[in-house]
Amino acid sequence: MKKLLIFSFLVMLSLDVTATSLNNHDWNAYYSQTKSNCISNQANMSGNSGLPIGLLKSYCSCYARYMANSITYELINYVQNTGDSSELVLLAQDAGNSCAP
């Protein structure tokens, strides 16, 4: 029982309880910019030639929403302060996998 309590305490310490979601203004700005960049990038990828723009827009709407809902101020600050974008890359991969048709 004591080991379980210690383990539970360690798990609680490892959780990021300070994660702050984007406020409405920042969420909308992040979503819009991410969606715009996504559409541009996807439309310019040779592997996507011939795909309907509506499909790309739908994918990018999902991707941008996932990212805007998931990113936190702490992650943004961490990436800016350290240059380590590995967590952001993983988040983007999750978003891409979740939104793939």
pLDDT in tens, 13-53: 444 557 899 999 999 999 999 999 999 999 999 999 999 99
The letter for the amino acid at 16 is D
Q: Enumerate the domain spans of the chain.
A: 23-99
pLDDT in tens, 40-88: 999 999 999 999 999 999 999 999 999 999 999 999 999 999 999 999 9
Contacts 24+ apart (CB under 8 A), 20-24: 20/72, 20/73, 20/74, 21/69, 21/72, 22/68, 22/71, 22/72, 22/73
